[in-house]
């Protein structure tokens, strides 16, 4: 008994003298949550003194939290507007991390491989294409026997960067969509059911016969959902893959502040509904120690973390963009 008490006392003493683990909090996009979770787990092996706590609450939530400074970093797949950036107490930077595809998943008997294009997709989400055997879909799939089944639209219910990428695409390929709905992390959806996060939309599609929704590619794979080939700007039907997202990213024009769109890229092999995702980080960190650890993590993410992206259905950033992003990270003050 004395030995047992001595061991407990020794453990308590050891715990009391060990350095406390630093907690860095972040919140935002669910689009990159799979890769961020992997990065944070791997980085803890590199630096056990720091732990990252990330909450996937949607890009809109991430933007609000970092503006309020209730988190150490935000995350968003939709670039912040000039208006929102002006609300920041000091310079707030977009740090690009990876790129990914927004897959169009559906729940149709037999899980046929479908082709879709911008006008058909816009019609579905506007509520003017309401049946799976509608001529707008049938014309793109002459070899598929489509059911006389109601289409159930599923969209995000929260402020979402995935929604931004999707509605940015629809606004570029459909004048009707641009005029009636537009683009944003939150829009007034004409029809449909709401799901929270990418996981919520994937779950709704999986459970609802006739459903269609948009999710980051990893969530479609994890839920074993079929996804459509989409006609790109070159007129070719493209499957969402790491390679087709890389092709879309290769043709993007990227400004110095890294806020850019890559939807409907002109490349012949480019998947049309693709986007990058950013961490939102203040240029001047209030907490020296947290700022230093955050910068060290970002440098690791570019040197080692990018290699993990393809295994989780994300496209790593090209070397030239990594070089530019590293220069930005190196300029963060703490």
Calculate what percentage of the chain has a pLDDT beyond 90. 94
Question: Do 103-250+261-273 and 21-100+275-330 fall under one CATH topology?
Answer: yes
Strands 22-28 and 315-316: unpaired
Whether 108 has a pLDDT exceeding 50, the answer reads: yes
CATH superfamily of 21-100+275-330: Periplasmic binding protein-like II (3.40.190.10)
Averaged over 293-314, what is the pLDDT?
98
Residues 6+ apart with CB under 8 A from 292: 334
Query: 130-146: per-residue pLDDT in tens?
Result: 999 999 999 999 999 99
Cα(54)–Cα(199) distance, rounded to whole angstroms?
16
pTM for the model: 0.91
User: Please, what is the angle between helix 118-126 and helix 161-173, to 10°?
Assistant: 120
Strands 274-282 and 92-106: antiparallel
Query: 217-238: per-residue pLDDT in tens?
Result: 999 999 999 999 999 999 999 9
- The domain spans of the chain are 21-100+275-330, 103-250+261-273
Whether 2 has a pLDDT exceeding 90, the answer reads: no
Averaged over 294-318, what is the pLDDT?
98
Mean per-residue pLDDT over the chain, rounded = 94
Q: Confirm if 325 and 96 have CB atoms less than 8 A apart.
A: yes
Task: Scan for tokens 């159930």, then name that residue.
Answer: 152
Task: Scan for tokens 């070719």, then name that residue.
Answer: 236
Query: Could you give the angle at the alpha carbon of 279 between the alpha carbons of 278 and 281, nearest 5°?
Result: 135
Task: Please give the distance of CA 68 from its chain centroid, rounded to a whole number.
Answer: 22
Determine the pLDDT at residue 17. 34
Task: Label residue 226 left, alpha or beta by phi (over 0 means left) and psi (-120 to 50 means alpha).
Answer: beta
Query: 143-193: per-residue pLDDT in tens?
Result: 999 999 999 999 999 999 999 999 999 999 999 999 999 999 999 999 999
Alpha helices, DSSP H, located in the chain: 2-17, 33-46, 59-68, 82-85, 118-126, 135-138, 161-173, 175-180, 197-207, 217-222, 242-250, 288-303, 319-330
Query: 17-46: per-residue pLDDT in tens?
Result: 345 799 999 999 999 999 999 999 999 999
Q: Confirm if 191 and 125 have CB atoms less than 8 A apart.
A: yes
Determine the pLDDT at residue 207. 97
Whether 265 has a pLDDT exceeding 50, the answer reads: yes
CATH superfamily of 103-250+261-273: Periplasmic binding protein-like II (3.40.190.10)
Nearest in space to 37 (alpha carbons), one of 330, 326, 309: 309
Determine the pLDDT at residue 19. 57
Nearest in space to 333 (alpha carbons), one of 89, 90, 98, 97: 90
pLDDT-based confidence at residue 9 (cuts at 50, 70, 90): very low
């Amino acid at each position: 008994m004395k030995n047992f008490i001595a061991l407990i006392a020794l453990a308590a003493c050891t715990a009391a003298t060990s350095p406390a683990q630093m907690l860095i909090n972040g919140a935002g996009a669910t689009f990159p949550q799979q890769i961020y979770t992997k990065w944070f787990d791997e980085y803890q092996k590199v630096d056990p003194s720091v732990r990252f706590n990330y909450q996937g609450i949607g890009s809109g939530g991430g933007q609000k939290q970092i503006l309020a400074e209730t988190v150490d970093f935000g995350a968003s797949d939709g670039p912040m507007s000039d208006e929102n950036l002006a609300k920041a107490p000091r310079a707030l930077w977009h740090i690009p991390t990876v790129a990914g595809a927004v897959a169009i998943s559906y729940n149709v008997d037999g899980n046929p491989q479908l082709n879709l294009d911008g006008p058909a997709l816009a019609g579905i989400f506007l509520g003017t294409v309401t049946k799976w055997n509608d001529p707008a879909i049938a014309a793109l799939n002459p070899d598929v026997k489509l059911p006389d089944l109601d289409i159930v639209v599923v969209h995000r219910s929260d402020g979402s960067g995935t929604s931004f990428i999707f509605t940015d695409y629809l606004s570029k390929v459909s004048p009707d969509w641009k005029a009636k709905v537009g683009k944003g992390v939150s829009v007034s959806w004409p029809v449909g059911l709401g799901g929270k996060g990418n996981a919520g939309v994937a779950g709704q599609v999986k459970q609802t016969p006739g459903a269609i929704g948009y999710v980051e590619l990893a969530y479609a794979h994890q839920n074993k959902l079929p996804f459509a080939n989409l006609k790109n700007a070159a007129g070719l039907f493209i499957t969402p893959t790491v390679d087709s997202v890389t092709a879309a990213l290769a043709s993007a024009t990227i400004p110095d502040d890294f806020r850019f769109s890559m939807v409907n890229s002109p490349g012949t092999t480019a998947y049309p509904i693709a986007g990058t995702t950013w961490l939102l980080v203040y240029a001047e960190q209030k907490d020296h120690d947290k700022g230093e650890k955050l910068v060290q993590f970002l440098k690791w993410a570019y040197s080692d973390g990018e290699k993990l992206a393809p295994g989780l259905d994300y496209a790593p950033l090209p070397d030239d963009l990594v070089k530019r992003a590293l220069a930005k990270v190196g300029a963060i003050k703490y």
